[in-house]
Amino acid sequence: MTLERWRKITEWPVMLAALVYLAVYSWQVLDPGTIPPGAASVVLQGIWLLFAAHYAVSLALAPAKGSWFLRHLHELIIVALPMLRPLRLLRLLTALNILHRVAGTALRGRVIVYVTGGSFLLIYVAALAMFDAERNHPESLITNFWDALWWSVVSVTTVGYGDLYPVTLTGRLIAIALMIYGIALLGVVTATLASWLIQQVAEVEEKSTAATVAHVDQLREELAEFCALMLEQTARHR
Amino acid sequence: MTLERWRKITEWPVMLAALVYLAVYSWQVLDPGTIPPGAASVVLQGIWLLFAAHYAVSLALAPAKGSWFLRHLHELIIVALPMLRPLRLLRLLTALNILHRVAGTALRGRVIVYVTGGSFLLIYVAALAMFDAERNHPESLITNFWDALWWSVVSVTTVGYGDLYPVTLTGRLIAIALMIYGIALLGVVTATLASWLIQQVAEVEEKSTAATVAHVDQLREELAEFCALMLEQTARHR
Amino acid sequence: MTLERWRKITEWPVMLAALVYLAVYSWQVLDPGTIPPGAASVVLQGIWLLFAAHYAVSLALAPAKGSWFLRHLHELIIVALPMLRPLRLLRLLTALNILHRVAGTALRGRVIVYVTGGSFLLIYVAALAMFDAERNHPESLITNFWDALWWSVVSVTTVGYGDLYPVTLTGRLIAIALMIYGIALLGVVTATLASWLIQQVAEVEEKSTAATVAHVDQLREELAEFCALMLEQTARHR
Amino acid sequence: MTLERWRKITEWPVMLAALVYLAVYSWQVLDPGTIPPGAASVVLQGIWLLFAAHYAVSLALAPAKGSWFLRHLHELIIVALPMLRPLRLLRLLTALNILHRVAGTALRGRVIVYVTGGSFLLIYVAALAMFDAERNHPESLITNFWDALWWSVVSVTTVGYGDLYPVTLTGRLIAIALMIYGIALLGVVTATLASWLIQQVAEVEEKSTAATVAHVDQLREELAEFCALMLEQTARHR
């Protein structure tokens, strides 16, 4: 079996498993009383094993193992950090492949869909993980899920009021990941706007300055016409 | 009646209604003692009904209802959220259509006018809504309108000192909307500057490198001249 | 006398007056005990009158008064706000015209020099004005000049720790001006970097894809050569 | 000996010395009990002398001393500020020359490697220097290295919660350097994304609009073909 075939077959099951992981994890964090802790733990561990197996098989099937390993380092990080349990949820971002299908082929449109979808997912997941990491710490400021969600938005926009901030190591690692995403988000928003604006301005101006294919083609047609005329002339002359 | 005609006829009345809404809402929030609460409430509800009717008629007149619905989702959100009363004020941004007329046709100039006008309006409206949402909460930090205005500017620039921040759910939703606008604002400012700078640098350089229409046209003229000369020659020869 | 001649003659005296204003204002704020308050006040008021007269004469000399008024609105704002004494210092930015001379003709180089010089000047002036505005308020957090300078840098970079923030109205107006400059600063830095990067990448690529003047010129030469050859041929033939 | 040869010969020893400096400084700051203070001090002073000598020799060898001095001002600043001991560590950034070799030739790839490597190094060095500067101050908030690291990331992303901030002068100077880098970082991330996006969009569009060398060459070939045909015709005719 080739790597592409393996990835294609497993794409939907992996996405489904990620969604189940998010659902069970959300339930466990948000309403811990109503879920048997053993069951939730078994499901989460099972899906983790599934992802690890998926990664191992993918690596085994890759023709150029070294290059595949380097280009899929993010998958390894997601699989290999069991002590940072909440961060594992970032694997959920693979669910964005669905959005990839919904969006058309226009590059900027696809960037907008990815960034919007990714931001919503990441803000939710970061809030969930932060709430899970902070709620049992005695000095914690983030004591309910709505606070965690509010903190998540304030951090990703780089506003950072400082009314709420993480105090645990896990919480700070989650915050660092979110802040780095925030910088990238600012960059993507700006880049998309700049790209659109530059193109719009260029379109108005290029019409009057740049030599387009149309101009060269027109020139070629005139040349061909003249060529035909000349050949006709010399032939008639002979 | 076509959709365009309906939108054209109703454009100015809708804008006027939005301005009245802002005025009455400002009065009600900033000086609640001098306005009969019943009267203010009737005017605000009436304008809300008017906007809802305007949206419904627009949708009914649209030839492709699905596509119109998707492209005007923001109008539905503005009309359909009665529990988030202050956020409804965002419909005021339709007043920017006036600015659209004032500004010339240059794209970058229009972007600057939109962003400046939109920022002033949004900062004012967000401060008003925030003050309305927070002032009756016991733990509120934003206790007068000037504080709300200060908070609004600090948030939209993503500085976020943290001396003032919302504590109610409505306040936080308003803050989230404002922070998202802040990210977009940063993006638009950067994109406009980048577009201007890239164009200025390109103008200096393009003169010496890119093939312009002028060059191709000159070539065509030379070709036409040669063509005429050749035809004359062969004709004389015959 | 024409407007250009007037502006050219008065450029250096106005700049000198602005520098004297900054020096006297700095002295008055930083070491109020060693300066006779009457003398400082007289100098500052005198320079203010000088600027007001300069603005009035410029407006009187302008051929198109309306258009000049609109394009020099920032000068009016600087002259016309006596109640916001510290903000008047922003007129110091006219001193940047010196930098304009130092920098070469390359646009990006000039942008870098302007932004760096303007940032240093604005951070210092904002700190000075903030210290002057806040130091006598009982709840003030900014109680010495180094604190004001630190606050100024933290605000202009949009970091906003919130350890220090203005509490007076004047202080908040200064902060708003500085934060708006901070957004513009972020935009200019990004735009300059983007413009540089896009040009570097384009230079590598354009060599192999875009039709340059050189190509069209080469084509024209070949055409001229062919034209001469044909004319020679037909002439010899006759 | 020429300047280039001197710089080439000393490149690796200087880099090694910088790494030793970082290692000894880290050890001295993070675990002061286990290192003889005299030994650490001797090594750090020795490396400082080495860097000063390297700078002096470079300047002496430079053919155009004035221009070299201006373009290497950052080296002088790193060497010449003994009272700001921690800031001297910024010389470590010369170690990025290693990364320069690892990265390929693609400009954007090199920018990404530089920015990622430089960010990690600067965040670590700033945290180390901040911890060293703040830990002995009675009002200090940054009392362990993990706090300093957390503060460093929060500052460089311009989030600035304000839970931790420097209170000493040295600490504030380090923070200012880090915040300026944060602004530049935002700019570089955005510029790289914008450059990539603009190129991707341009590639799709240029195929259908801009006159490429291929088009002009095709035209030239057709002209040459016609030229040969005409010459053949007239020759046969004669």
Q: What is the 3-state secondary structure (H, E, C) of C161-175?
A: CCCCCCCCHHHHHHH
Closest-CA residue of C relative to D191 is: C194
The full DSSP string for D112-180 is HHHHHHHHHHHHHHHHHHHHHHHTT-TT-S--SHHHHHHHHHHHHTT---SSS---SHHHHHHHHHHHH
D210 has a pLDDT exceeding 90: no
The full DSSP string for D184-196 is HHHHHHHHHHHHH
D159 has a pLDDT exceeding 60: yes
- Chain D touching partners, 3 or more CB pairs below 8 A: A, B, C
Looking at the complex, report in whole angstroms how far the Cα of residue D226 sits from the nearest Cα belonging to chain C. 10
C206 has a pLDDT exceeding 50: yes
- Chain C touching partners, 3 or more CB pairs below 8 A: A, B, D
Choose the mutation target among B173, B186, B201 for the interface with A, i.e. most A CBs under 10 Å: B186
Residues of B in contact with D162 (CB under 8 A): 161-162
For residue C55, what are its two tokens? 């603005």
D175 has a pLDDT exceeding 80: yes
CA dist B46 to B20, B24, B41, B42, B53, Å? 11, 12, 8, 6, 11
Which residue among B186, B189, B233 places its CB closest to the CB of C234? Answer: B233
* Spatial contact of D139 and D167, defined as CB atoms under 8 Å apart: yes
Residues of C in contact with B216 (CB under 8 A): 216
d(Cα D99, Cα A126) in Å, to the nearest integer?
32
- D150 interfacial to chain A (CB closer than 8 Å): yes
pLDDT tens, residue by residue, A166-211? 999 889 988 998 898 888 888 888 888 888 888 777 766 555 445 5
Q: How many Cβ atoms from other residues are within 10 Å of residue D174's Cβ?
A: 29
- D228 interfacial to chain C (CB closer than 8 Å): no
Choose the mutation target among A113, A124, A161, A222 for the interface with B, i.e. most B CBs under 10 Å: A161
Residues of D in contact with B190 (CB under 8 A): 190
**pLDDT band, very low/low/confident/very high, at C236 (cuts 50, 70, 90):** low
Please state the φ and ψ torsions of residue C212, each to the nearest 5 degrees: -95, 170
Contact D163 A162 (CB under 8 A): yes
Which residue among D158, D160, D194 places its CB closest to the CB of B194? Answer: D194
D98 has a pLDDT exceeding 60: no
Task: Chunk chain B into consecutive blocks of 10 residues (it has 238) and report each block's average pLDDT, rounded to whole numbers.
Answer: 85 79 84 83 86 88 86 74 52 54 60 78 86 88 92 92 91 89 87 82 58 63 70 65
Across C166-172, average pLDDT = 90
Across D131-142, average pLDDT = 89
* Spatial contact of C78 and C94, defined as CB atoms under 8 Å apart: no
More confident call, A235 vs B60: B60
Which residue among A160, A193, A204 places its CB closest to the CB of B191? Answer: A193
Looking at the complex, report in whole angstroms how far the Cα of residue B213 sits from the nearest Cα belonging to chain D. 10
Contact B215 A216 (CB under 8 A): no
Contact A222 B219 (CB under 8 A): no
Looking at the complex, report in whole angstroms how far the Cα of residue A14 sits from the nearest Cα belonging to chain D. 29
Amino acid present at D177: A
Which residue among D162, D190, D211 places its CB closest to the CB of B162? Answer: D162
Which residue among A162, A190, A216 places its CB closest to the CB of C190? Answer: A190
Residue D157's Cβ-count burial label (10 Å; 0-12, 13-18, 19+) is buried
**pLDDT band, very low/low/confident/very high, at A220 (cuts 50, 70, 90):** low
Which pLDDT belongs to residue A149? 94
C155 has a pLDDT exceeding 90: yes
Residue B116's Cβ-count burial label (10 Å; 0-12, 13-18, 19+) is exposed
- B160 interfacial to chain D (CB closer than 8 Å): yes
* Spatial contact of C157 and D180, defined as CB atoms under 8 Å apart: yes
D209 has a pLDDT exceeding 50: no
d(Cα A151, Cα D147) in Å, to the nearest integer?
19
Q: At what angle do helices B107-134 and B3-30 cross, to 10 degrees?
A: 40
Query: What is the residue whose two structure tokens read 């927070």?
Result: B134
- C211 interfacial to chain A (CB closer than 8 Å): yes
More confident call, D229 vs B173: B173
Q: What is the CA radius of gyration of chain A?
A: 27
* Spatial contact of B187 and A187, defined as CB atoms under 8 Å apart: no
Which residue among B162, B169, B212 places its CB closest to the CB of A161? Answer: B162
C85 has a pLDDT exceeding 70: no
Residues of C in contact with A158 (CB under 8 A): 158
d(Cα C111, Cα C131) in Å, to the nearest integer?
29
- A161 interfacial to chain C (CB closer than 8 Å): yes
Which pLDDT belongs to residue A96? 55
Residues of B in contact with A229 (CB under 8 A): 227, 231
- Chain A touching partners, 3 or more CB pairs below 8 A: B, C, D
Which pLDDT belongs to residue D208? 46
- C194 interfacial to chain A (CB closer than 8 Å): yes
CA dist B15 to B140, D153, D199, Å? 33, 46, 40
- A144 interfacial to chain B (CB closer than 8 Å): no
A224 has a pLDDT exceeding 80: no
Across C189-217, average pLDDT = 69
Which pLDDT belongs to residue D145? 92
Which residue among A161, A199, A230 places its CB closest to the CB of D230? Answer: A230
Looking at the complex, report in whole angstroms how far the Cα of residue C130 sits from the nearest Cα belonging to chain D. 18
3-state secondary structure of B179: helix
pLDDT tens, residue by residue, D42-83? 888 888 888 888 889 999 998 888 888 887 877 777 776 544
* Half-sphere exposure in the Cβ direction for D62 (13 Å, CA): 15
Which pLDDT belongs to residue C100? 52
**pLDDT band, very low/low/confident/very high, at A89 (cuts 50, 70, 90):** low
- A171 interfacial to chain D (CB closer than 8 Å): no
Residue A142's Cβ-count burial label (10 Å; 0-12, 13-18, 19+) is buried
Which pLDDT belongs to residue B227? 67
More confident call, A119 vs D227: A119
Q: Does domain B95-212 have CATH number 2.40.110.10?
A: no
C67 has a pLDDT exceeding 50: yes
Range from C48-52, C55-59, C213-217, D10-14 carrying the lowest mean pLDDT: C213-217
- D223 interfacial to chain A (CB closer than 8 Å): yes
Which pLDDT belongs to residue C146? 92
Q: How many Cβ atoms from other residues are within 10 Å of residue A77's Cβ?
A: 14
**pLDDT band, very low/low/confident/very high, at A83 (cuts 50, 70, 90):** very low
- The H or E element spanning position B120 is helix B107-134
Which residue among D162, D211, D219 places its CB closest to the CB of C162? Answer: D162
In chain D, the percentage of residues whose pLDDT exceeds 70 is: 74
Which pLDDT belongs to residue D81? 58
What would be the CATH architecture of the domain defined by C99-211? Orthogonal Bundle (1.10)
- Between positions 95 and 124 of B, the ones with CB within 8 A of A are 107-108, 111
Looking at the complex, report in whole angstroms how far the Cα of residue A65 sits from the nearest Cα belonging to chain B. 40
Across A66-84, average pLDDT = 72
Query: What is the residue whose two structure tokens read 């599934």?
Result: A50
Choose the mutation target among A189, A227, A236 for the interface with D, i.e. most D CBs under 10 Å: A227
Looking at the complex, report in whole angstroms how far the Cα of residue B42 sits from the nearest Cα belonging to chain C. 36
pLDDT tens, residue by residue, B132-153? 888 888 989 998 899 999 999 9
Choose the mutation target among D67, D151, D156, D165 for the interface with C, i.e. most C CBs under 10 Å: D165
Closest-CA residue of B relative to D155 is: B159
More confident call, B93 vs D155: D155
Chain C, chain D: beta-carbon pairs less than 8 Å apart = 117
* Spatial contact of A17 and A51, defined as CB atoms under 8 Å apart: yes
pLDDT tens, residue by residue, A1-33? 788 888 888 877 877 887 788 888 888 888 888
- Between positions 59 and 88 of A, the ones with CB within 8 A of D are none
Nearest CA to C166 out of C186, C183, C146, C147 is that of C147
pLDDT tens, residue by residue, C10-24? 877 877 887 788 888
DSSP symbol at C182: H
**pLDDT band, very low/low/confident/very high, at D216 (cuts 50, 70, 90):** low
* Spatial contact of B176 and A153, defined as CB atoms under 8 Å apart: yes
CATH fold label, A99-210: Helix Hairpins (1.10.287)
Contact B188 A193 (CB under 8 A): yes
Nearest CA to C145 out of C125, C115, C167 is that of C125
Nearest CA to C213 out of D213, D29, A26 is that of D213
**pLDDT band, very low/low/confident/very high, at C150 (cuts 50, 70, 90):** very high
CATH fold label, D95-210: Helix Hairpins (1.10.287)
